[in-house]
Chain A
Amino acid sequence: MKTTLLFAATLMAGAAFMAEPAKADGHAPVCGLNTGTAATGDPIKVGGINGNAPPGDFSGGTDGAAAYFDCVNANGGVNGRPIEYIVENDQWNPELAGQVATKLVKDENVVALVGNGSVVEMAVNAPLYASEDVMVMASGCAISECYESSHIVSTNQGPLPSGIGALKFAIEELGATNAACIGFNIPNNGGWACDWMNEYMESKGLQGTSILMDPTAVDLNSVYLQALAEGVDTILLMLPAGPAIGLLKVAEEQGGRDLFKWVSPTPLYEPGVGEILGEYWSENLYINIELNEFDSEGADNQNWAKVVEAYGQDGDRQDTFSQSGYISAKFFVDALLKLDPATIDRPTVTKAIQGIVGAESDLLCKPYYVGEADRHMPNHAGRMVVFKDGGFELVRDCYDIDTNYLDPIRAQEAALGLK
């Protein structure tokens, strides 16, 4: 048995009371047609690609989507047709990412891909998805190609909006005037996001600087010291949870908590962070969250918890990506339910997905939409929590960001009649 399960169980039982996913209230989850009867028709093939190998597990999106699809299949399917969900792992390998996408799109002839989460596959496969006219309703995106491609639309915000959301809070509530964006030295990830952080700070008449590090950097102490040498007053941890925690540990070692305002995008909002960080950081670390709190009372969040409890697999991740995968799958099924089941194929599904406008969920701050465009970023409004007493406490509810990066997105929203 995987030791992770023991670890996860310990954490769940421990102090992460506010980060703990909402508990199912005993009622059955609500999925699709909710007939209570299993679908037996001709399966609809849907693909999903995650990246699950060292150095990171991005499988939460496909886990959440798989649980929802299983629930839908047990409840009438898509007007009688079950979803056959084929999930592949790119293992953070660009060559493999290309192979599995080709397999799904060309060999399996999937009608769409849902729940994708990866740092690799979107950069490799965006041209394939466009040329084959197949839509990807992703859930775990972290690179620019994911948000700047015609056939990929992600439910999660990714580092750019979430990071700017964190900075906006730091400026308005914590008095930040000079921020360092510490990110990975990957052009379409840390470089991309931190460049826009700096642009955002400049647009506010403030100062911003990028501190980019190699993903396997060992001397986090020097990264921290560089921020110190830059004379910044705020540190934005544009990093996955592991290295971000490494940096916080170095800062703790150096007594750096009170020297800076500490903010982060979503990755640090994860069950278990409380136990790792400890009391030192309580009320001193602010995190922007891209979807709703794990324990929120909203109907979709409650249903997500029930779905993953009833239909999830042992070892499934229950994180923001899982919420994102669940809601991507739900929007996907809702779109397909409007189609004549006999006509469901890739062209009709692509059109149905592109036709999604104004889909609402308590997991998101604003309506979700797709439309036909050369880029997509429907989720750019989030919430802010503070790390407190081993858990998280909401300090600002839904708010949007204001950055020039969103100009084309705003134009799309205006054209679709969304504000």
Chain B
Amino acid sequence: MLKVYGLFLVSGLAVGSLYALAGIGLVILRRSTGFLNFAYGALAAAAAMVAWQVADWGAWGPIAWLSALLTGVILSVAYGRIIAPSLAWREPAVKAVATLGYMLILLGVMGLLWDDELRKLSLPTDKMATTLLGVRVTVTRMIALGLSVAAVIAMILYLDRSRMGLNMRALADDRDHAALLGIPIVRVETIAWCISGALAGVTGLLFGSLVRLEPTVITFMVIPATAAAIVGRLNSLPMTLLGGLLIGVVEAMLTLYKPLAPLRAMTPFVIAGLVILWMQRGTNLTFATKD
């Protein structure tokens, strides 16, 4: 029985690392710009589809992967520079809802460009694997987990040690004061959109390879990613990482309990709901910047 638990633990960690990676991208952006980007999954989906398209045109693999990264960055920065500034002073909820509109636009464009045909996005690392607790774990899955941990460490160091990180933290603490202090808000925010978009691109590439290359499925990956970010109170990167992994593992483990197995999809909502309830016991408002 222990081996069975091990199987599902490893399986859950693999999926959870994708949730965590996406959640980290959300938190980084939220901390710097105040935007909870519900279009994050759509950015990832567009990145994955572009990578497939470029590969389908016969491009060399690394070019296709790079195109995913660039797609994430371009689409993210485009929103950050064109639409986001006009919402800069609006409430966090308004900002979040506006990104929903962007998500629908991207989803619609993807539906227009790519019909419902069968597609596959393969990475060379899909074929390399090792066995862990009885589960064959591909290198792609290990990359997903390693990347999410590395992203957390790198971003913590970046935010703590670099000048730009300091600026981002200042913006997150109080945008008005940061502006008065002469912090180049547009530049700082653009970099935040850029980093978040790059993470979306990588997540999309991994997701398209590991799960399914379907725009809708990748787009709605933003739900567990948001749940992971909420576990991190939309602020803490390590907690977001843990939240993503926890959601992945609980979702996988529920498979073993038959009455709840068909309802596993609710795991992110339940965990996020419980965390919100826990946070609401005080006076803090989850989606507000000020009390």
Point out residues on A near B: beta carbons under 8 Å. 2-4, 6-8, 10, 52-57, 185, 211-214, 216-223, 225-226, 228-229, 241-243, 245-246, 249, 253-255, 270, 272-273, 275-276, 315
What distance in Å separates the Cβ of B135 from its nearest Cβ neighbour in chain A?
Answer: 7
Given contacts A213-B262, A218-B211, A221-B252, 16 further A-B contacts (CB under 8 A): A4-B115, A55-B216, A57-B115, A213-B264, A216-B216, A218-B18, A220-B211, A222-B251, A223-B255, A225-B255, A226-B255, A229-B255, A249-B120, A253-B126, A272-B117, A276-B118
Chain B hits for A217, CB < 8 A: 264-265
Q: Which residues of B contact A (CB under 8 A)?
A: 4, 7-8, 11-12, 14-15, 18, 53, 56, 107, 110-120, 126, 129, 135-136, 138, 211-212, 214-217, 220-221, 224, 248, 251-252, 255-256, 261-265
Which one of B107, B112, B117, B264 has the greatest number of beta carbons of chain A within 10 Å?
B117
Chain A residue nearest to B140 in the complex (CB): A253
Partner of A216, one of B107, B126, B265: B265
Given A185-B262, A222-B251, A222-B252, A54 contacting B215 (CB threshold 8 A): yes
Q: What are the residues of chain A within 8 A of B4 when measuring CB–CB?
A: 229
Q: Which residue of A has the minimal Cβ distance to B267?
A: A219
Nearest-neighbor residue (CB-CB) of B16 within chain A? A219
With A2-B113, A242-B212 already in contact, the answer to whether A225 and B7 are too (CB < 8 A) is yes
CB pair B217 A214 closer than 8 Å = no
Residues of B within 8 A of A249 (CB): 120
Contact B116 A57 (CB under 8 A): yes
Distance in Å from the Cβ of A267 to the closest Cβ of chain B?
A: 10
Say whether B118 contacts A242, CB under 8 Å: yes
CA distance A275 to B117 in the complex (A): 12
**When A and B form their complex, which 3 residue pairs have the shortest distance between CB atoms, in order from nearest?**
A214-B265, A57-B116, A4-B115
Contact of B261 among A6, A211, A273, A276 (CB under 8 A): A211
Q: Which residues of B contact A229 (CB under 8 A)?
A: 4, 7, 255-256
Contact A53 B56 (CB under 8 A): no
User: Which of A55, A214, A253 is the one whose CB lies under 8 Å from B214?
Assistant: A55
Which A residues are CB-close (under 8 A) to B216? 54-55, 216
* Closest CB in chain B relative to A172 CB, distance in Å: 29
Min CB–CB distance A223 → chain B (angstroms):
7
Shortest distance between the CB of B108 and any CB in chain A (Å): 9
Given contacts A55-B216, A254-B136, A255-B136, contact A219 B15 (CB under 8 A): yes
- Chain B: CB-nearest residue to A246: B212
Are B261 and A218 touching (Cβ within 8 A)?
no
Which of A225, A229, A255: most chain B CB closer than 10 A?
A225
Chain A contacts for B114, CB-based, 8 A: 2-4
In the bound complex, residues from chain B placing their C-beta under 8 Å from that of A222 are 8, 11-12, 15, 251-252, 255, 264
Question: Nearest Cβ in chain A — how far from B269, in angstroms?
Answer: 12
The reply to whether A6 and B211 contact each other, CB–CB distance below 8 Å, is no
* B57 → chain A closest CB, angstroms: 8
What distance in Å separates the Cβ of B10 from its nearest Cβ neighbour in chain A?
Answer: 9
Q: Which residues of A contact B112 (CB under 8 A)?
A: 2
Return 29 A-B CB contacts under 8 Å, by A number.
A2-B112, A2-B113, A2-B115, A3-B56, A4-B115, A7-B56, A8-B117, A52-B116, A53-B111, A54-B110, A54-B215, A55-B216, A57-B115, A185-B262, A185-B265, A216-B220, A218-B221, A219-B251, A222-B11, A225-B7, A225-B11, A225-B255, A228-B7, A242-B212, A245-B212, A246-B211, A246-B212, A253-B138, A315-B115
Q: Please, how many angstroms separate the alpha-carbon atoms of A218 and B218 in the complex?
A: 9
Known contacts A2-B113, A216-B220; A270/B118 CB under 8 A:
yes
Closest Cβ–Cβ distance, residue B206 to chain A (whole Å): 12
Output the least CB separation between B63 and chain A (Å).
Answer: 17
Which of A52, A216, A221 has the largest number of chain B CB atoms within 10 A?
Answer: A221
